[in-house]
Amino acid sequence: MSIGAVDVALTRERRRAVDFVALTKPRVVVMVLVTTVVGYHLGSAGAADHLRLLHTLIGTALAAAGTLALNQFLEREVDALMERTRLRPLPDGRLQPIEALVFGALIAVAGVLYLTVAVGLLCGLVTAAIVGLYLFAYTPLKLKTPLCVVVGAIPGALPPVTGWVAATGDLGVGAWVLFSILFLWQLPHTLAIARLYREDYARAGIRVLPVVDPDGTSTERQIVTGCFALLAVGLLPTLIGLTGPVYFFGALGLGVGFLGCGMAQAVSRTAPAARRLLFASLLYLPTLLALMAFDKARF
């Protein structure tokens, strides 16, 4: 084989490797790991067990990556109908469906088993619930009902619970407070995205609320309600003793600002306002998590 042929073959394999990585949505996996670390940090009493945290992150990363790859396998035909997703590896034909199915299933199962063995049964069960709900509840419901956003927010809110369980071995009040914050945050965040890509979603038959609510009345009401509930629930970590006053006042300011963006979107109902709301959501969550980690109450 000539050097040129070898170079072509290596380039092809590198591209395939990049496409397999793209199936796992690395940016989403990183966000999952960040919320898992915060849950572990808040649940840890005294010095954290860093080896246990490492095991938790390895298993969580594998399970999350596999789940997202399987999601792209299941949604490949829908993705082909949307401008924002038609160039993904499966709808674009760069990878075959069977490749994505095998790849995703192997690493998702490996992640759940790894957590069960290396961290604990409860941690594995929580992660298995994330995989099951995301693939077999949220994904099919996207084509059937606007309630898919609510259902999808459940697995999206469970990674910090995984971290908490890994640190404590149980499902304490703190785990459910973290779950509630992530759950409520996803509602305005997801609805803002759906508002921006409403025509794309409609073309693919995805029945998110902005698609079935043409005048936007119900959508904007849900956005404001979610932001208001998040403002209140976001203060709970201090009220139950997980965090201190720095977090409390920071969460209060962030919550008021986020609510203001939600109300502005409800009044104007324009794409620029939805874009500002999306940006606010992307600023809100990492800032809130950083405040939690910084101002954790000392046990």
Instruction: Summarize the confidence of residues 203-228 as an average pLDDT.
Output: 89
Same domain for 136 and 235, yes or no, is no
Check which CATH number belongs to the domain holding 190 and give it.
1.20.120
Q: Where is the domain boundary, 136, 171, 206?
A: 171
Instruction: Summarize the confidence of residues 7-15 as an average pLDDT.
Output: 69
Same domain for 49 and 143, yes or no, is yes
pLDDT for res 213:
84
Tally the domains of the chain.
Answer: 2
What residues form DSSP beta bridges with 243? 296
From residue 67, how far is each of 129, 133, 216 by CA, in Å?
A: 11, 10, 32
The confidence band for 1, taking pLDDT boundaries of 50, 70 and 90, is: low
Render pLDDT for 102-158 as a digit per residue (tens, 0 to 9).
999 999 999 999 999 999 999 999 999 999 999 999 999 999 999 999 999 999 999
Same domain for 144 and 217, yes or no, is no
Q: What is the mean pLDDT of the chain?
A: 92
Same domain for 92 and 184, yes or no, is no
Check which CATH number belongs to the domain holding 36 and give it.
1.10.357.140
Q: Where is the domain boundary, 120, 154, 171?
A: 171
Same domain for 70 and 144, yes or no, is yes
Q: Where is the domain boundary, 171, 195, 228?
A: 171
pLDDT for res 276:
94
Residue 227's nearest CA partner among 272, 273, 277 is: 277
pLDDT for res 297:
76
Same domain for 101 and 205, yes or no, is no
Instruction: Summarize the confidence of residues 220-228 as an average pLDDT.
Output: 93
pLDDT for res 4:
60
Same domain for 145 and 265, yes or no, is no
Same domain for 167 and 237, yes or no, is no
Tracing tokens 């192997």 back to the chain, one arrives at 106
Residue 265 lies in domain = 172-299
Rounded to two decimals, what is the model's pTM? 0.91
> Are the beta carbons of 223 and 265 closer than 8 angstroms?
yes
